[in-house]
Amino acid sequence: MIGELAALTAAFLWSAGSFLFTNAAQRIGSIQLNVDRMSLATIFLIITIVIFQIPFTISSSQILYLVISGFIGLVVGDTFLFRAFKEMGPRLSLLIYSCNPAIAAVLAYFLLGESLPIISYLGIILTLTGISFVVLEKPKNDKSQFKVTKASIFYAFMSAVGQAGGLILAKYATMTSEIPIMVATLVRIGSAALTLMIVASIFKRYKNPFKLYNGDRETLKRVGIGSVIGPYLGISLSFVAINYTKIGIASTLLSTVPLMVLPMSAFVYKERVSLRSIVGAIVSVIGVALLFMTK
């Protein structure tokens, strides 16, 4: 139950962050956004560990797995996702991205020996069906600037593969011995931020953040708040999720972001929630309920 609740809470936080990050990605670019949000989250994590005197108990092998996990999930996966957001928009990007639970469940079966009861597979199918029902709905009078291309589909799919692979490696790191959640999150996010910053700087895709945000305080505000509720809290809770439940279930619940976006869109942007979206949400809620029934 703890893992499932943590995954749903993380999904809620990520959905809130998506409002902030989508706009920021269009204004400063996906790579700049990814580096800056992870760098800020790293700073917040260090402050938290120091203030609460959290012991840095972690082995060298665990560090290695978490570093690779951060690279696959946060450097590769998230960069591709933000690129897909920028070109194809969040609606269809999230549809393709939502196939990551299936990828994660298959990888967990072969690499970690995790298997799920029939009721869990039914829950996963219902949850993903409801999500697909929601995100496939085409808005009325759609004059979107976004375009679906082979490249944008590839970006979204790679983001799903990156997310699934990152979770598998993070889970593997926690299986040998217990790691403080904030420490594990720091290693994963901090190493990913450093790697991406070096690569982006080499290819001249990263700008000095002090100069960049000096004339754009609104974007700085969005990135700052998004970094707290997204990578700082969201990724920390995802570690709780994979520690207390199986990968297939955790990744499915973490993929409910499109459902969380519905009430936020209605509240923030006063968008009308269609009957189709409501039906899709109900189907997904039934699927989530079945996942919570898994023993």
DSSP 8-state assignment for residue 245:
S
- Rounded Cα distance between 209 and 196, Å, is 14
Token readout for 112 is 């970690």
* Number of neighbouring beta carbons within 10 Å of residue 187: 25
- Rounded Cα distance between 75 and 37, Å, is 12
- Rounded Cα distance between 158 and 97, Å, is 8
> What is the pLDDT at residue 145?
65
Token readout for 92 is 């269809």
DSSP 8-state assignment for residue 34:
H
Cα–Cα–Cα angle for 199, 197, 165, nearest 5°? 75
Cα distance from N-terminal residue to C-terminal residue, the chain: 9
> What is the pLDDT at residue 187?
96
- Rounded Cα distance between 277 and 262, Å, is 8
Burial of 65 (C-beta count, 10 Å sphere; 0-12/13-18/19+): buried
> What is the pLDDT at residue 141?
55
> What is the pLDDT at residue 269?
60
Token readout for 77 is 């996966």
- Rounded Cα distance between 96 and 28, Å, is 24
Token readout for 295 is 């023993």
| Residue type, position 120, single letter | S
pLDDT digit string (tens) for the chain, length 295 residues? 789 999 999 998 988 887 787 778 778 887 898 899 999 999 999 999 999 999 999 999 999 999 999 999 988 988 888 788 778 877 678 778 878 888 888 889 888 888 888 888 898 889 888 888 877 776 665 555 677 788 888 998 999 999 999 999 999 998 888 899 999 999 999 999 999 999 999 988 899 998 999 888 899 999 999 999 989 999 999 999 999 999 989 999 988 877 787 777 677 666 677 788 888 888 888 888 888 776 5
- Rounded Cα distance between 124 and 11, Å, is 15
**What Cα–Cα distance (Å) separates residue 100 from each residue in 73, 156, 281?**
11, 10, 19
- Rounded Cα distance between 105 and 164, Å, is 8
- Rounded Cα distance between 156 and 258, Å, is 14
| Residue type, position 137, single letter | E
